[in-house]
Amino acid sequence: MEARPEGLAKATAFLQTGHHNKNNELARKYLPAGTGLLGEQVGFSYDLLINALIAGILLGGFYAAVTLGVSISFGILDIVNIAHPAFIILGSYIAYIVNIRLGIDPIVISVLMLPVFYVLGAGVYQVYYESFERRGQESLRGLSFFFGLLFITEVILILVFGVDYRYVEAWYIGPTWRFGGMDFPLRMLVPCVAALALFGALQLFLSYTFIGRAISAVAQDQQALRLMAVDPIRIKRIAFAISIATTSVAGALLIIIQPVEPSVGREYIGRVFAICVLGGLGSLPGTVIGAMLLGIIESFTSTFYGPSWAPAVAFGVLLLTLAFRPAGLLGR
């Protein structure tokens, strides 16, 4: 495969260099003049710090949206779905096509697509269950299966869309709210709010609906579920389908925050599992906190050390956490 920029690092570098070229549409939209990496003001070090923090928190919110699905599939169901980012990228591209053709807001598109992704998730789980879980061969074969899916999705997207960066249009991509020295770029604020809404919805669902509580229970005691005449397999399928449904929304949020191309998914694997492990598996609030933490660390690294180090942050955090505190910061 020919060389092409790697994910967020290059995208942001691209944005930075684009920033210097005032004729660049993209730069003008994503980076108002006089701003740095994520929209914050450059040149005042205290402001730089504050804005890096804000950028980190907003980014963290988005990361939470990306990870909530894995929190369910890995944290609760113990399925290592490393193809999760592939579904997210799929969501991004779907948002892109519909947005470009019909001009509909990407978040609206993603919500409309929720049922489609849900069905997709249910289908994938069924294949996974029949082929691996039932035969008790989850680890090696299951991982290879998801890895294959990740790979296939990426290659198909390359074949269909090519390796150019794609982006969406929406009224909130571009403007920045400013409150006394603090910058809130709307293209980051809106996804963060949407992510928190998603989190809220999921948390309510898991805590207050019968199926939601069954999902929390299925991790612990399948036998008890059976005794309550609930089919654990059905519950797991629903849970997995929900986890894939979240990728529809996460994908739309992704392409709002940054331009997307097929290999972008791969850097999110590390982020997603780093956050899961940091936050303690299976805990949705833990996931949000872990996501914020990672977002802040990444934002600071990017601002003070340069964007090309950003991918190493998530994966480095993951390695360190796995090595020294595998139960997570809020671990059980």
Question: Can you give the binding site for another protein, defined by CB under 8 A?
Answer: 1, 3-4, 6, 9, 80, 82, 127, 131, 135, 137, 139-141, 143-145, 147-149, 151-152, 154-156, 158-159, 263, 266-267, 269-270, 273-274, 277, 308-309, 311-312, 314-316, 318-319, 322-323, 326, 332
Give whichever of 152 and 204 is closer to another protein, judged by the CB atom: 152
Residue partners of 228: CB distance under 8 A and separation at least 6: none
Q: CB-wise, 208 or 324, nearer to another protein?
A: 324
Nearer to another protein, 286 or 311 (CB): 311
CB of 28 to another protein, least distance (A): 26
* Closer residue to another protein, CB minimum distance, 141 or 213: 141
Closest distance to another protein from the beta carbon of 178 (Å)? 33
Closest CA to 248 of 210, 212, 198, 290: 198
Nearer to another protein, 82 or 98 (CB): 82
Task: Report, in Å, the least distance between residue 313 CB and another protein.
Answer: 9
Minimum CB distance to another protein, residue 304 (Å)? 14
Half-sphere exposure of residue 97, counting CA atoms within 13 Å on the CB side?
9
Closest CA relative to residue 204, chosen from 252, 242, 171 = 242
State the Cα–Cα distance between residues 86 and 89, nearest whole angstrom. Answer: 5
List, in sequence order, every beta strand (DSSP E) within the chain: 176-179, 182-185
Which of 166/271 has CB closer to another protein?
271
Q: What is the closest distance, in whole angstroms, from the C-beta atom of residue 144 to another protein in the complex?
A: 5
CA angle 274, 276, 281 (to 5 degrees): 140
Contacts of 291 (CB under 8 A, 6+ apart): 60, 61, 62, 63, 64, 66, 67, 275, 279
Q: Beta strands of 180-296 (E only): which ranges?
A: 182-185
Tell me how far, at minimum, the Cβ of 100 lies from another protein, in Å: 23
